[in-house]
Amino acid sequence: MTSKRSFINIAKEDLKRRVWPIALALVGFFFALPVLALIKVEDHLSSLENGLDTLLSLQYSFASFALGPRNSLAVIGLIIMAVLNGMHGMKYLHNKQEMDFYGSVPMLRTEKFAAAYLNGILITAIPYVIMFLLAALFGATNGLLTGAGFFYGVQTVLILLCSYVLIYSFVVLAAVLTGHGAVTLAASGVLTMGLLIYELLFEAYGTSFFMSKYDTLDIDKVAWLSPFTALADMIDTPGSRKYIYYYMTGNYVAAVTGLIVATALFILCMVLIKKRPAESAGKAMAFEITKPVVKVFIMVPVALAFGLMFPSVSNSNVYRWLVFGIIVGTVIAHAVIEIIYEFDFKACTKHLPSMIAGGLITAVIVCVFIFDPFGYDTRLPKKYNIASAAVYADGINSGSYYVMDYRYDEDYMSEEERVMKKMMMNDIDDVYVLAQKGCEFAKANRMQRRSLGEDFLFAERDPEPVRLAVNMRLKSGKEVKRTFYLDMEDAEVYEAFKRIYDTDEYKNMEYFLLSDEMESMEERIQYISYGTGDYADSTAHMSREEIQEFLDTLKEETRALTLDTLKDEVPIGLIEANVMDDMPGFRDAYSVEIGYVYPSFAKTIALLEKHDIETGKNRTADDISYIKKTTWSDDYESSQDEKIEDKAEIAALLPKLVSTRFSGINYAVCKVSGETDYQIYNNDGSCGDYVLKE
């Protein structure tokens, strides 16, 4: 029977049953946009009147937080409306009476579906746009919205609506594939989060079983595994205090890609609607053929999650608990899914072959991680395919941190992330030697793990292996990141890393003092200070020229450091700089740790002493009242104290002691004893904690 009703009339009829979602959208976006805008206007005008901020800063804040991507209320509202509209608009598919009614009306199934689908977009998009314009009007009339800010908001609207359509389309697909509202909600979760959950579980298993797994989730890699992470990718903009309103090209590409995916989902739904049995309304699944596929798709991650859960609370018999968890997870997932499918508790004993299939697939996946048949831990890219590399070693200059200058338009990165991203070593011979050594260590020890994620070798091996993170950038553009564990007492490893350490590429990334960011910060340094592990910092008041002379000297001696120096010496002090940032709308002073002073830094120490700063290098037994020696038992459950007051004994002991404040800075190569603690009590009343240098 052909349709005798226009598409517009069908859409109008559909709108009549969508009154409450329309009302919810109007009310919700009224509070998320105009009301929030009024709150921002009041707060910003008050700040401006009291001189707490500048107009430029407040205009940027209004555009970003009231109209732009940082309006979390609007973003959350769009997500909620996507789920509600998807379920409410397609609920007729789950009602037998409505399906019978629409089946008797002279209209095509696809027309009815398309009308409902389109309305689900319009009843959110129209209120959202209206409320956005109203919020923009409030900002403009109060001088808080510029033309650039308005255009920034318009771009945000378009990008967020693309995100909305993407999430909404997934929920609609879930409604088409199911026959019951509650099951639709669960299916929406599977469709929108399923692939992301798989990826997260694979990451967890890789971290647990692969010794060379680099334990950092690549956000770009998972962005398109879920429409929710895709949304985060679409609205991700660089944090900027330059008050520039812009999106990057990647944001637009992500939005268009989301729209393309949504279109493909709509087409798929149109195809499925033609084939969807009318009698599927009220059933859990609309298509019998999808039941075992969906069941196995859900069973596998559930079983994998159970497989990790039980060993995580046990430090013994890990593999036994792993198998137990997989079996329990498989059985539970099978029973729950079958009960949902049939709405009958007795159904848990049915369709056992699909349960067995899911269990076998899970077992195969787990075996891949345990036995590593594809050589993840033991294979490296061909050396001639590597264009450049980055190396980060735990226990070299540790305890320091990298200062991210707010004037740089980049997200915050840890020191390791920064090194892995920016270090460019073109001579990769020594890096490759270390990577090969790491593969050999992994091959020899990966099967001897006592617990997930915790290798007993690290607790019982002497010396303890040093963690080395390596990023090998291939000529194809691909990055291969690995974590290797190496014995620094191995002569080949030590010499290879020693040559790497001596390169400018390594030191410029490892030491903030030698970085480009430090150079840009130097002119804003007000004064520097020096501190040891036991007495209060002494502040040096120097002229601008004297500060620059000191920094240049410290840089020179830091660049001259060798791995042998780190092995033999422990820092005696820490240099901090007090920095003043003074920009429009932003003024702040803060301290930055810029470098350590080693005993061999003769020029730096001479400059400190020139400015009457006591470095501690020349401290003698006469400066010390007494030393408290604490000797610990083997299990560290008890200790024995001894008070050392004899000046001769103190004089003999003093050169061997290093401050615990700095003793672990270079623990990868510099060893100290942890069996005995020493507390030095100085004549001036100060004291500090020390240990013996091995």
pLDDT in tens, 402-461: 454 443 444 456 788 888 988 999 999 999 999 999 999 988 887 765 444 444 555 556
Question: What pLDDT score was predicted for residue 327?
Answer: 94
Of 85-89, 236-240, 647-651, minimum mean pLDDT range: 236-240
Dihedral sign of CA atoms 505, 507, 509, 515 in order:
negative
Question: What pLDDT score was predicted for residue 348?
Answer: 78
512: left (phi over 0), alpha (psi -120 to 50) or beta: alpha
Does some domain include residue 294? no
625 and 606, same domain (yes or no): no
Distance between CA atoms of residues 641 and 433, nearest Å = 47
229 and 360, same domain (yes or no): no
**Pair 438, 379: CB distance under 8 Å:** no
Read off the amino acid at residue 690.
Y
Does some domain include residue 616? no
Does some domain include residue 576? yes
**Numbers of helices and strands, H then E, in the chain:** 25, 12
Tell me which residue of 367, 418, 411 sits closest to 392, measured CA to CA.
418
Does some domain include residue 482? yes
Does some domain include residue 663? yes
Question: What pLDDT score was predicted for residue 223?
Answer: 83
The phi, psi pair for 382, rounded to 5°, reads -60, 140
Q: How many domains is the chain built from?
A: 5
**Pair 594, 512: CB distance under 8 Å:** yes
Question: What pLDDT score was predicted for residue 405?
Answer: 45
604 and 627, same domain (yes or no): no
The residue from 610, 636, 665 where one domain ends is: 610
| Burial (CB count within 10 angstroms: exposed 0-12, middle 13-18, buried 19+), residue 46 | exposed
Q: Which two tokens stand for residue 612?
A: 């009457």
Mean pLDDT calculated for residue range 521-528: 85
Of residues 553 and 313, which shows the higher confidence score?
553
Does some domain include residue 51? yes
470 and 537, same domain (yes or no): no
Distance between CA atoms of residues 344 and 661, nearest Å = 65
Read off the amino acid at residue 11.
A
Question: What pLDDT score was predicted for residue 480?
Answer: 93
45 and 144, same domain (yes or no): yes
Question: What pLDDT score was predicted for residue 53?
Answer: 78
Distance between CA atoms of residues 421 and 444, nearest Å = 30
Q: Give, for 631, the enclosing helix (H) or strand (E).
A: strand 624-632
489 and 441, same domain (yes or no): yes
For 328-351, the pLDDT digits (tens) are 999 999 999 888 888 777 777 788
Question: What pLDDT score was predicted for residue 461?
Answer: 61
Does some domain include residue 230? yes
527 and 485, same domain (yes or no): no
The phi, psi pair for 142, rounded to 5°, reads -105, 10
Read off the amino acid at residue 81.
M
Distance between CA atoms of residues 3 and 9, nearest Å = 11
The residue from 348, 371, 394 where one domain ends is: 371
- Beta strands of 421-565 (E only): which ranges? 466-474, 479-486, 525-531, 538-540
423 and 547, same domain (yes or no): no
- Mean pLDDT score of the chain: 86
For residue 109, pLDDT over 80 is answered with no
Which DSSP symbol is given to 223? G
Distance between CA atoms of residues 142 and 501, nearest Å = 57
**Pair 592, 576: CB distance under 8 Å:** yes
Of residues 303 and 235, which shows the higher confidence score?
303
Residues pairing with 592 in the sheet? 577
Q: How many residues does the chain have?
A: 694
490 and 543, same domain (yes or no): no
577 and 684, same domain (yes or no): no
Question: What pLDDT score was predicted for residue 409?
Answer: 41
584 and 648, same domain (yes or no): no
Does some domain include residue 355? yes
442 and 531, same domain (yes or no): no
The residue from 371, 406, 427 where one domain ends is: 371
For residue 1, pLDDT over 50 is answered with no
- pTM of the complete model: 0.83
Structural domain including 319 reads 301-371
Distance between CA atoms of residues 97 and 92, nearest Å = 9
